[in-house]
Structure 1
Amino acid sequence: MMILYWVLVGIALLGAIGAVIPGLPGSSLIVGAIGVWALVHGLSGVEWALSIAVLVLVASVGIDFLATYLGAKQAGASKWGQIGAIVGLLLGLFGLLPPILPFGGLFGLLIGPLLGAIIGEYLYCRDLKFAVKAGVAVVVSSLIGNIIQGVLALAAVVFFLVSTWPY
C-alpha cells in the first residue's frame, strides 16, 4: 500500500508540472491519482482532497479560456481577435493544427491562440503590426494562466498529502 501511495503522489506531482506546461495532462492526472487512492483506500479522509482536485480541474479549463480572452482584450483586440484567439486555442487544444517540428501538440497550444488572434484581428482592422501585438498579448496572458493553473494544481496535491498523511 505504501508503494502505491508514493506512485500516486508522484503522478499527482507530474500533474502539477503538466498544469504549467501546455499540452501535458495536468489537473486530470491529479484527479485520477486521488481517485485511484479513494477507490483503493476508501473515501475516508479523501473526499475533500478529491473535491478540491475536481474544482481545480474545472477551474483550469475556465482559466485557459479566460486568460486567452482577457489577453486579447487587454491588448485592445477587437472581438475578431478575441474570437480568433479562442478558436486558435481550441484548434491547438484538440490537435487540429498541423504538428510542427518535434513539439507537436505543445507547439499547437502556444501557436494556435497566437495565430488565431493575429488572423482574426488582421481580418478586422487590416493592420498587421497591431494584429501581431494582440497575438503576443494573448500568448503572454496564456502563459500567466498556466502559472495560475500550476499554483492551483500544486495546492491540490499539497492538500491531498496533508489530508492523507500518514494514511
Structure 2
Amino acid sequence: MQIIYWLLIAVMLVGVVGAVVPAIPGSSLILVAIILWGIVSSSFTAIKIPLIVTIIVLFSSMGVDFLGGYLGAKQAGASKWGQIGALVGLFLGFFGLLPTLPFGGPLLGILLGPLLGSIIGDYTCRRDLGKAVKAGIGITVGTVVGNLLQGIIAVSAVVIFIWTTWSQVYGG
C-alpha cells in the first residue's frame, strides 16, 4: 500500500510541474491520482477533502491560466492579432518548430514562442513595433504569473492530500 501511495504522490508531483509548464497535464493528474487512491484504499471518505480541493484547483487553474494571459494582454494593450500570435507562437515554440535553440529546447520555446508570436501578430495589425513589443512582454508576463499561481495552487492540493491521508498509510 505504501508503494502505491508514493507512486501516486510522484504522479501528483508531475502534476505540479504540469501546472506550471504548459502542455503537460497538471491538475488533472493530481485529480486522477487522488481518485485512484480512493479506489485502492477503498475509502473515498478519507479523500473527500483532497478531492473537493483538487476539483476546485482544477477549475481555478483553468481560470488562472486564462485570466493571467488575458490580463497581461489587456494591461499591455495587445490586439486580438497579438493574442492569436501568442497562441500560435506557444504551439510553434513547444513543438520545436522555431529555429533550433542551442539550449532550453521546448521550455525556452514556450517562453519565446508566445513573445515572438505576439510581437509579430501585433506588429502585423498595428505597424507599431514599440506597442507590439510591449504587448508581447505583457502577454508573456501574464502567462508566467498565471502559471506560477497554478503551481502554488497545485502544491496546496498535494499537501492537503498528504496531510489528510498520511495517517491512513502510516497509522497514527
Show the counterpart of 2:145: 144
Q: Which stretch of structure 1 is more off in the superposition, 66-75 or 97-106? A: 97-106
Runs of 4 or more off by more than 6 Å in structure 1?
Answer: none
How far residue 104 of structure 1 moved from its aligned partner, in angstroms, is 4.8
* Greater C-alpha radius of gyration: 2
Shift in CA distance, 110/124, structure 1 to aligned 2, threshold 3 Å: same
Question: Which aligned pairs between 1:11-160 and structure 2 lie closer than 5 A?
Answer: 11-42=11-42, 43-89=44-90, 91=91, 98=97, 100-101=100-101, 103-160=104-161
Shift in CA distance, 62/109, structure 1 to aligned 2, threshold 3 Å: farther
TM-score, length basis structure 1: 0.82
C-alpha distance in 1 between matches for 2:72 and 2:89: 14
How far residue 25 of structure 1 moved from its aligned partner, in angstroms, is 3.1
Give unmatched runs, 5+ long, in structure 2: none
Q: Which stretch of structure 1 is more off in the superposition, 97-106 or 146-155? A: 97-106
How far residue 87 of structure 1 moved from its aligned partner, in angstroms, is 4.6
C-alpha distance in 1 between matches for 2:75 and 2:60: 21
How far residue 64 of structure 1 moved from its aligned partner, in angstroms, is 2.1
Kindly tell me the number of residue pairs found equivalent between the two proteins. Answer: 165
Give unmatched runs, 5+ long, in structure 1: none
C-alpha distance in 1 between matches for 2:82 and 2:68: 14
RMSD over aligned Cα atoms: 2.4
Q: Is the 8 A contact 1:83 1:117 kept in 2?
A: yes
C-alpha distance in 1 between matches for 2:87 and 2:56: 22
Show the counterpart of 2:7: 7
How far residue 68 of structure 1 moved from its aligned partner, in angstroms, is 1.3
Percent identical among aligned pairs is 50
Shift in CA distance, 92/31, structure 1 to aligned 2, threshold 3 Å: farther
Question: Which string of whole-angstrom CA distances, capped at 9 and with x for unpartnered residues, describes residues 88-113 of structure 1?
Answer: 44x359x5661644655434432332
TM-score, length basis structure 2: 0.80
C-alpha distance in 1 between matches for 2:113 and 2:48: 37
How far residue 2 of structure 1 moved from its aligned partner, in angstroms, is 1.5
Question: Which string of whole-angstrom CA distances, capped at 9 and with x for unpartnered residues, describes residues 101-157 of structure 1?
Answer: 465543443233213321221122101222122111211111111110011001111
